[in-house]
């Protein structure tokens, strides 16, 4: 059985429909007014939690997910149809990250079950929106907003109170099968568990807890050796780590060295895991055969780790010895810990990029020609794209836009003089002061 807990996909929102340019044509009406309708909004990319979904396998064979484009506006004030949203279903616990920066966009866990990651382009306004008493026949309309692309990584991080860690064949799967409703495959070879397992532990009338069996780690897991990176991410959700260590010595392993090795891997993967509360379960005590003059390995672990605040419980997952005491020890520890689930805070909001529409304009004097000024800004570029500057009314409309948005004031503050040149995205204009403004002063 394969388990897919990460994916890399490309998201494309829908383009907004263009506004329409048209004029009313009716019988006995010589010159009807503008009636060009607005374009529809482009579809958005939305992620939703799907109950009962446990893997990201649906993203295994498809890379690109595209929302629908908005329809263009039509004549007779017809509004273009909005583009269809692309809704992607994911299991609870899915974290969405920007593929380039690795910053968290959203964590779909807890109450956060739906998130819009990319909003579609807004629909362009038809020419019916630009009619004024002095401009009754506007011959321009607004184009729709552009589609946007974003490559993201999806990571499924299991949500559990307790995470089981330890070397392969330490007895984690056996322990989980005895104490919970989980039914992991159990066999006597390394990497028994290839799929993270979740189980619910019920303790008589007490509250239960959720426990996750993280597949066995090996040295070098933090660098990706074996299946390390595939599963270490699931430990990040847990409030408490239960470290199962084989103390039988039958495989020639030293339990203290095993604990140190696993802890080293956890710290190398993510430094704050070192501070995660931990309990040690000294497993396979039924296979210990005391030798004269040789210290009990479980007692050895106690002497080293309990002074560090890490409780040690000798158990035998196979026979059940000490398991009950361990479970109540886990419950007691969980009651001392904050109940808030581990949720990854947002580090990057792709939709904030839309705020570029409102970024301040830049007005700079050209280094090559002191009589030339360069003006740039996202909204200026788009305005030039849908304004007919060849018509007198279109040019006056654009001039008013520059005045109302403070661009002319910024040019004057930069030292522009009459007759100087203003360049905007390949277009050049001669500057002449606003005579009405001068007269008012």
pLDDT digits (tens, 9 = 90+) for 245-263: 999 888 778 899 999 988 8
The token pair at 188 is 């006597």
3 state DSSP class of 375: strand
- Distance (Å, rounded) from C-alpha 403 to C-alpha 437? 11
State the pLDDT at residue 293.
60
Q: How many C-alpha atoms does 421 have within 13 Å on its Cβ side? A: 12
State the pLDDT at residue 329.
93
- Please enumerate in sequence order all residues whose Cβ is within 8 A of that of 165, keeping only pairs 6 or more positions apart, or say none: 172, 214, 217, 235, 241, 242, 243, 244, 262, 266
pLDDT averaged over 10-residue windows placed end to end, the chain, 441 residues:
71 94 71 84 95 83 95 92 96 92 90 92 85 67 87 86 84 82 45 60 75 63 45 77 89 87 82 83 86 79 94 93 92 85 82 58 81 81 68 75 83 88 81 59 41
State the pLDDT at residue 228.
45
* Region for residue 415 given its phi and psi (left: phi exceeds 0; alpha: psi -120 to 50; beta: otherwise): left
State the pLDDT at residue 30.
54
- Distance (Å, rounded) from C-alpha 104 to C-alpha 154? 10
């Amino acid at each position: 059985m394969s388990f897919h807990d990460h994916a890399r996909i490309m998201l494309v929102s829908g383009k907004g429909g263009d506004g329409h340019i048209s004029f009313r044509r009716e019988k006995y009406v010589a010159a009807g007014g503008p009636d060009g309708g607005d374009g529809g909004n482009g579809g958005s990319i939305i992620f939703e939690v799907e109950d009962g979904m446990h893997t990201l396998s649906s993203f295994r064979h498809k890379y690109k997910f595209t929302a629908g484009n908005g329809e263009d506006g039509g004549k007779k004030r017809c509004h273009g149809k909005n583009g269809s949203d692309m809704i992607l279903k994911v299991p609870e616990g899915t974290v969405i990250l920007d593929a380039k920066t690795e910053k968290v966009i959203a964590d779909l866990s807890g109450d956060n079950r739906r998130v819009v990651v990319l909003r579609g382009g807004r629909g362009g306004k038809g020419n019916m929106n630009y009619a004024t008493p002095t401009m009754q026949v506007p011959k321009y309309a607004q184009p729709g907003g552009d589609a946007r692309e974003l490559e993201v990584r999806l990571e499924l991080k299991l949500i559990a109170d307790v995470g089981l860690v330890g070397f392969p064949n330490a007895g984690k799967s056996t322990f989980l099968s005895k104490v919970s409703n989980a039914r992991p495959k159990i066999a006597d070879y390394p990497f028994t568990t290839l799929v993270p397992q979740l189980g619910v532990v019920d303790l008589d009338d007490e509250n239960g807890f959720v426990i996750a069996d993280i597949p066995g780690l090996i040295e070098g897991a933090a660098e990706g050796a074996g299946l390390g990176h595939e599963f270490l991410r699931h430990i990040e959700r847990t409030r408490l780590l239960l470290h199962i260590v084989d103390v039988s010595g039958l495989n020639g392993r030293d339990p203290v060295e095993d604990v140190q090795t696993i802890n080293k891997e956890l710290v190398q993967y993510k430094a704050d895991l070192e501070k995660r509360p931990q309990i040690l379960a000294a497993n396979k005590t039924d296979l210990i055969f005391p030798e004269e003059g040789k210290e009990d390995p479980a007692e050895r672990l106690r002497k080293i780790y309990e002074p560090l605040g890490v409780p040690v419980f000798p158990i035998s997952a196979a026979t059940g010895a000490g398991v009950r005491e361990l479970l109540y020890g886990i419950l007691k520890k969980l009651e001392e810990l904050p109940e808030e689930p581990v949720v990854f805070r947002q580090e990057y909001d792709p939709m904030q990029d839309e705020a570029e529409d409102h970024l301040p304009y830049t007005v700079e004097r050209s280094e090559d020609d002191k009589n030339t000024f360069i003006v740039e800004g996202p909204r200026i570029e788009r305005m030039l794209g849908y304004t007919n500057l060849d018509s007198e009314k279109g040019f006056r409309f654009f001039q008013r836009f520059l005045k109302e948005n403070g661009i002319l004031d910024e040019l004057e503050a930069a030292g522009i003089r009459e007759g100087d040149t203003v360049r905007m995205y390949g277009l050049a204009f001669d500057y002449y002061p606003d005579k009405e403004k001068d007269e008012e002063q």
